[in-house]
Structure 1
Amino acid sequence: MTKLDFAIIDPHIHQWDPYHTPHSAALLVKALGKYPAVMDQVVRWVKPKPLLETIGRTDDVLNPYLPEHYRADLGTFSAESVVHVEANWHHHKGFGVVEETTWLQQLDFNSQGLKLGAIVATADPRDRKFKDILKAHQDASPKFCGIRKMAAWHQDKGVYRWCDRPHLYQNKSFLKGFEQLAKLDLSFDAWGYSTQLLEITSLAKQFPETRIVVDHLATPVGLFGAVGKKTGKTLAQRNAIFKQWQQDIAQLAEQKNVHAKISGLMMPVLGHTYYKQHRTATIAEMVNVLTPLIQHAIQVFGLDRVMFASNFPMDKPNTTLNDLIHAYIQMIAPYGEQALYSVFKQNAANFFQLPLEP
């Protein structure tokens, strides 16, 4: 297997601890944490089916995911630094979101040979106090570098909606608040489904001075199998999803302020069902299914605006992190050694303004 002779930068991981932070499952894990099978059944009884189909396995979100867990998942690879991306902190209204930034500051990354390079927090540009919330994030941590506000909302009611309304990125109040990001030199992680790519493109056009990265290549729901009530159920549907994604993400890539994370592509919401077979995908399987996506992303964005990111532990039901990195090495290696360094390290450092170790 091909190895990397440098430590990567992983610009998209999630950290959480339901036992000690405001978390939607906090009461459940404190009451039933010693009985994981019972806890799983309770979650499947009270949570909506679309959410359960999105996460795949409940244990990955009910258990803590902290620096030591990420370090273990890295296996034989090493990470110079990581970027935490907001993880739906339960106190998510107003200044409550700043609690997550404060909490991250006290996590012991150093003991695991890791460095927290940056924090992508959350805040709602529609909030009248949006500017003050951004400044509160800055006061909470010097590592705060930008925000993510999820807009993922699918027409298929069987696909989980991570946003309270459709077309968030076109909302007038949202757009008015969004002006603050460029003024404060903050970045924006945009996440919508592939059916929303034109909305992300419109946002990028309106704010050319704002650094924007599209998460997970805009998550083409159902590309690899049936999801929700009616998405990706036939080969013809899946081919249409891919062709539309190709067209729309190429249009997004024309906006030079937009970068792309090749991440999240093993999430169950894309139609992967390896976890239902009680196994993870092999390296060869991932290379086979993901190569067309990666090749197209590189073709339209170029090798300087795409970055590998793990999205762990959200992809964990279908893959191990070690195998995922090996698969991406195989997909990127044909572009040359410099491409590997760019995709696994340099591009993330450039976008998130992280110093590189000599």
Structure 2
Amino acid sequence: MRDTPAAGAASVEPFIDAHQHFWNLAINPYPWLQDETVPNFRYGDYSALRRNYLPEDLARDTAGCAPVKTVHVEAEWARANPVDETAWLTQLAAQTGRPTVIVGHAQLDRGDVEEVLAGHAACAIMRGIRNKPVTAARREDARRGVPGSMDDERWRRGYALLARHGMSFDLQAPWWNLDQAAALARDFPDTQLILNHTGLPADRSEAGLAGWRAAMAELAAQPNVAVKVSGLGLPGKPWTQADNVPVIRDAIAIFGTERCMFASNYPVDSLVASYGTIVAGFRAAIAIYPPEQQRALWHDNAARFYRL
């Protein structure tokens, strides 16, 4: 299933990894990696992730195809004190140079959201927030107006505070909930929304991909939305170009080369591929574009959206 870290990834131009994670399980609280289990984890068994993952581990995994900068996205630190994760990452960045910038966590419908956002904003390398809103586990269960969802007025009041701090919003949601995201982006045009993991196109049937493309197109109609091309692994299968290059090209065709960016989702996606495999697959997918658009997809878009 695996190949060597740099296999097929040589000669890649300087690039930014717009989505990666670190954790130190010996000193920090990550319930999902320590004493809890995520039911129905999208890649299946994730026990291989229950180990420290730090800058030296990323350096090993990216040997021969290392990003010049990285965006660290919150890694499900225990929710009581999310600013503590930002403080730890700030120290890590000062000591090692990784990560370059941070997307932290704030529960947008929690009573202390203003205090939490202010705490994050005090960090010079903070760029945005990820909060996973309530979504439906299956397409047929998708409903509008659910408490804790992107339609929830209390949740939206928290979202409205992001603009005050100049923060972007990273959204992880399945494609059948992207109608809510389109409405959110429309109603808050001054907040940059960045969709994680290509809208989670896990269902690769003809009908599933058609639904995903339609949902992505509805979201792409809002000019303040961008997408990270990442998280394309399929449970129980190795990451292959045959599976994923068409999906990558569809996403870029829908959003345009100016609103898509490369991201690895490492080390989570180490469950399905080496870093080099993901890099090589993205390179193959974007080879149809001229060099200046390839540079945007690899580097310039992430630099712009995350103010690098």
User: What TM-score, normalized by structure 2, do the two folds share?
Assistant: 0.89
Match of 2:101 in 1: 118
CA deviation after TM superposition for structure 1 residue 218, in Å: 1.4
Is this contact kept in 1: 2:92–2:99, CA < 8 A? no
Q: Pick from 18, 33, 49 the counterpart of residue 11 of structure 1.
A: 18
The match for 1:319 is 273
The amino acid across from 2:152 in the alignment is N
Task: State the match for 1:144 in structure 2.
Answer: 126
**In the TM superposition, what whole-angstrom CA distance separates every residue of 1:259-308 from its partner, at most 9, and x where no partner exists?**
00001111xxxx4313xxxxx44xxxx22111221121111211110001
Written as runs of structure 1 = structure 2, the 5 A alignment for 1:36-75 is 47=37, 49-51=39-41, 54-60=43-49, 62-75=50-63
Look up the equivalent residue of 1:78 and give its one-letter code: A
| Residue deviations 1:17-49 (CA, integer Å, cap 9, x gap) | 111111216766xxxxxxxxxxxxxxxxx7364
Shift of 1:197: 1.1
* Aligned CA distance change for structure 1 residues 26 and 350 (closer, same or farther; 3 Å): closer
> Contact conserved, 1:181 with 1:187, CA < 8 A, in 2?
yes
Q: Is the CA contact (8 Å cut-off) linking 2:104 and 2:130 kept in structure 1?
A: yes
Q: Does 1:79 align with 2:67?
A: yes
RMSD in angstroms over aligned alpha carbons? Answer: 2.2
State the secondary structure of the residue aligned to 2:150.
helix
Task: Tell whether 2:227 aligns with 1:296.
Answer: no
State the secondary structure of the residue aligned to 2:270. coil
Query: Structure 1 108/185 Cα, relative in aligned 2: closer, same or farther at 3 Å?
Result: closer
Q: Does 1:99 align with 2:99?
A: no
2:110 partner amino acid: D
Larger RCO, structures 1/2 (Cα 8 Å, 6+ apart): 2
What is the alpha-carbon distance in structure 2 between the residues aligned to residue 105 and residue 155 of structure 1? 34
Deviation per CA, 1:173-225: give whole Å up to 9, x if none: 011121111122110001101111111111111111101100011102333xx
Displacement of 1:87 in angstroms is 0.7
What secondary structure is seen at the aligned counterpart in 2 of 1:126? coil
Structure 1 position 77, deviation (Å): 1.1
Q: How much has 1:311 moved relative to structure 2?
A: 0.4
Aligned residues: 296
2:136 aligned partner, one-letter code: H
Output aligned runs, 1:168-187, within 5 Å: 168-187=149-168
Alignment of 1:180-199 (within 5 A): 180-199=161-180
CA contact (8 A) 2:10 2:64 kept: no
Give the share of equivalent positions with the same residue, in percent.
27
Aligned to 1:263: 230
| Contact persistence 1:80–1:115 (CA under 8 A) | no
Structure 2 Cα separation of the partners of residues 48 and 331 of structure 1: 32
User: Any gaps of 5 or more consecutive residues in structure 1?
Assistant: 29-45, 160-164, 224-237, 275-279
The code of the aligned residue for 1:330 comes to A
8 Å contact from structure 2 (residues 226, 259) kept in 1 = yes
Which consecutive unaligned segments of at least 5 residues does structure 2 have? 1-7
Q: Deviations over 1:153-180 (max 9, x none)?
A: 33449x9xxxxx7761111101112111
Q: 8 Å contact 1:123–1:149 — kept in the other structure? A: yes
Q: 1: distance between equivalents of 2:180 and 2:124?
A: 31
Is the CA contact (8 Å cut-off) linking 1:18 and 1:25 kept in structure 2? Answer: no
CA gap of 1:109–1:324, structure 2 versus 1, over 3 A, is farther
1:340 shift after superposition = 2.1
Contact 2:12–2:65 at 8 Å: present in 1 too? no
Post-superposition offset of 1:147: 0.1
Determine which structure has more spread, i.e. the larger CA radius of gyration.
Answer: 1
Match of 1:220 in 2: 201
1:88 aligns with 2:81: no
Instruction: For residues 123-161 of structure 1, give each alpha carbon's deviation from its aligned partner in whole angstroms, at most 9, with x where no partner exists.
Output: 01212221221111122x21011100013633449x9xx
| Structure with a larger share of its residues in helix | 1
The answer (yes or no) to whether the contact 1:306–1:343 under 8 Å persists in 2 is yes
